[in-house]
Structure 1
């Protein structure tokens, strides 16, 4: 979803041009906008009801069949944000090609059941200076229909506003930026 307006959603479907879809209307691709509430939109696609926020995406069954494809839309700040999950628990990701690994804060790690004390201690250099971290391995990381196993991550001692989706995940995908969208495709 690229944006919301009163009673309408701005959708990008199958990497096409953005289109404004009023509540109660279905597109020719079969995506129906059911409601708009603040910054979220409820849609129906592939027979499933989903709630999306600006920048979130839905992977159709046909896209999932070709090995996993996710199309993200840039938010108003120029970032690519998406909802995914780590080890089966929902998290909010910020795509960060400058982060070597997936990076998460202490409270997110605790919520996900990750024991940072069992990881390998390290120090990283961030935009805010040096930070002590613990290197861990995540069982599964999912974004849309893309699922990767055994992904390296860093747990920071302080909290972070979102989980950084770094290169330990992104290097295993094909990434293509096209204006306001970024397409992630599973390589294998």
Structure 2
């Protein structure tokens, strides 16, 4: 009787590895690129949420070629297609199916690569406006400063007032509901967030967004697979 049971265990393990491979394999084909800035004629690219990299025209970085630059914009070539992007624009995304991120949240997978200090930075959108996130699994919800909320067009003063503890004591913040939050070609809706009056170094991508996904961490890469 032991042999059939051992065989069943081997089959279950094999199926598990197949499922896991299916989750991880497409990550190599999905790509998100944002233009973080310009250094002279070089484009400062953020690929898959990684550390910014300066790339000169004619050169490539992680499969993204800079064709040309002018002012605050650059022409990039991804998967054989050219895209014109400006500094601060939402990221251009090419998914496993070869489509760009122009569709409204049709993807279900986000691939992030750790940057400086092991943090996962990624460009994104709130209600269609470009923002920059840092993943924070210790944050209950998306968190941002009042200045960041205003830049993103969030009407936080119409939200629910809440008392918040900070290093400088107790202060009043606001709890709000974001209509949509997008990272790469994945978009989710009705996401809780808090807005704090004091400045913040980064906008936090917290668990009100992250819990919508299954999280897979492998070395310096994080894959978020949308739950259905």
- Whether the TM-score (by the shorter chain) exceeds 0.5 is yes
Q: Distance in 1 between matches of 2:169 and 2:68?
A: 41
Q: Which residue of 1 aligns with 2:143?
A: 103
Q: Which residue of 2 aligns with 1:4?
A: none
1:132-171 residue pairs with structure 2 within 5 A?
132-171=172-211
Q: Distance in 1 between matches of 2:210 and 2:141?
A: 9
How big is the shift at 1:176? 1.2
1:33 aligns with 2:65: yes
Please report the TM-score for the alignment, with normalisation by the length of structure 2: 0.60
Q: Which residue of 2 aligns with 1:68?
A: 108
Aligned-pair Cα RMSD in Å: 3.8
How big is the shift at 1:52? 11
Q: Which residue of 1 aligns with 2:83?
A: 49
Unaligned runs of 5+ in 2: 1-32, 34-41, 49-54, 100-105
Q: Distance in 1 between matches of 2:138 and 2:124?
A: 19
> In the superposition, relative to structure 1, how do residues 32 and 93 fare at CA in structure 2: closer, same or farther (>3 Å)?
closer
How big is the shift at 1:111? 1.7
For residues 86-110 of structure 1, what are the alpha-carbon distances to aligned partners after superposition, in whole Å with 9 as ceiling and x for unaligned?
A: 0111001010001000001011111
Larger radius of gyration between Structure 1 and Structure 2:
2
SS at match of 1:168: helix
For residues 113-161 of structure 1, what are the alpha-carbon distances to aligned partners after superposition, in whole Å with 9 as ceiling and x for unaligned?
A: 2222211111234577644310000000000011011000001011222
Q: 1:134·1:156 contact (CA, 8 Å) conserved in 2?
A: yes
Q: Which has the higher helix share?
A: 2
Aligned length: 169
